[in-house]
Amino acid sequence: MDKAWDQVDGILEDWVWEMVAALKSQLAQSVNVGLAEWVTLAHNHYTTAVHNTRLVGQEIAALLQWLQESVQFSPSHVHLIGYSLGAHVSGFAGSYMSRKHKIGRITGLDAAGPLFEKASLSDRLSPDDANFVDAIHTFTWEHMGLSVGIKQPIAHYDFYPNGGSYQPGCHFLELYKHFAKHGLNAITRTVKCAHERSVHLFIDSLLHADMQSMAYLCRDMDRFSQGLCLSCKKGRCNTLGYHTRQERQSKKSKSLFLVTRAQSPFKVYHYQFKIQFINQTENPVEPTFTVSFLGTRGERQKIPITLSKGITSNETYSFLITLDVDIGELIMIKFKWENRMVWSNVWNTVQTIIPWGRGSLHSGLALKSISVKVGETQQRMTFCSENMNDLLLHPAREKTFVRCEANSETLKRKIR
């Protein structure tokens, strides 16, 4: 395990001991934990520290080669865990090993970005450096073309929690809280929060073995936020952290996305919702909704939904909803068009001028069906209005949807 040194205040950070304790407590029968202390080489100007990562990696490789020769300890049993610059130290250590005696696994925790982004494979952590390489990216927000953590894929599996740019609870909006606690070090602490989140996600995977965070192969976070990437077919999903499924594969990296909570345990439950609206007015409708869930193990009330564009004609909208607790199998969904004064006045005026009859769909906004896919269980289900004679949505009124059998047309349109 590398990069245990805090370059800000010059002491070993608390997470180092948390990581060691988690590894020893959860894997006590099968693991020995060692720390690579490179204090004098790391506590320098950044460019000098970057140069030293290769030297430290070479020393670690020499140690592993000595263990192999003296006590027949196979490098394939070694798991190097490196944070920030330490991720690249681990990569260099792996690159100095012979092809016949590769390191078993390297985990890069928000590998450093400056001077490594877009570097050649031999000048940074890469999939070639171990039999299996995984990386967690948590602070890839760019400023003036640079980011604290490396943005590009560098492993067999690259995990991007919350898109990899920011992390819940680490936004700069929280800066004033850090000023009260840390004074002038507030900005440094705020940056460290997101950068170091990679470490705590990994520790969390050890401490909560029964609550593993699932991530899903996707092109980018925008597509993931639409709920379009919750497939586990053909290795498209994997758990984040220590228990990641290790697969020997091509050199092409797989980028996986997920959402997490702001604190441990970080796991959330991912749901794709596809909602088919029918708008029978000529003008686009841009409402805000809330949705409530009832499951076999609990419920969640009034989760806000804001559509990215107005509802026009007959359209289906797909989006991601996450819950921080397991409510079991969904039984009922309650959908509410939130009361906006303007919309209420318009609606009342329209009803006065055009008093449509029961069940009529001559005008207004209707919701035909809700299709759901659960990421963690891969279960698909369809919900229909409890009252099929009235599909209209009314401002400030809640409509209940219950499980129903999907018709043949719905079955053909599988949730991707």
User: Do β-strands 105-109 and 79-83 pair in parallel, antiparallel, or remain unpaired?
Assistant: parallel
84 a catalytic residue: yes
Instruction: Cite the DSSP H helix spans in 137-261.
Output: 175-182, 186-207, 221-225
Among the listed residues 79, 88, 195, 270, the single catalytic one is: 195
The SS3 of residue 333 is strand
Residue of 410, 392, 315, 384 whose CA lies nearest to 350: 392
Residue with tokens 């909208």: 317
Q: Which of 11, 131, 147 is nearest to 79 (CA)?
A: 131
Query: What single-letter amino acid sits at 410?
Result: T
Distance CA 324, CA 109 (A): 24
Q: Which of 2, 79, 84, 147 is the catalytic position?
A: 84
Whether 140 and 147 have beta carbons less than 8 Å apart is answered as: yes
The maximal CA–CA distance of the chain, rounded, in angstroms, is 91
Provide Rg for the chain, Cα atoms.
26
Known active-site residue 195: yes
Amino acid at 202: F
Among 2, 79, 88, 110, the active-site one is: 110
H-state helical runs in 284-375: 341-353
Q: What are phi and psi of 206, to 5 degrees?
A: -80, -40
CA distance 169 to 363: 44
Residue 268 CA, chain-centre distance (Å), reads 9
Task: Map residue 274 onto helix, strand or coil.
Answer: strand
Whether the bond into 395 is cis, omega within 30 of 0: no
Is 277:220 a contact under the CB 8 Å cutoff? no
Provide the annotated active-site residues.
84, 110, 195
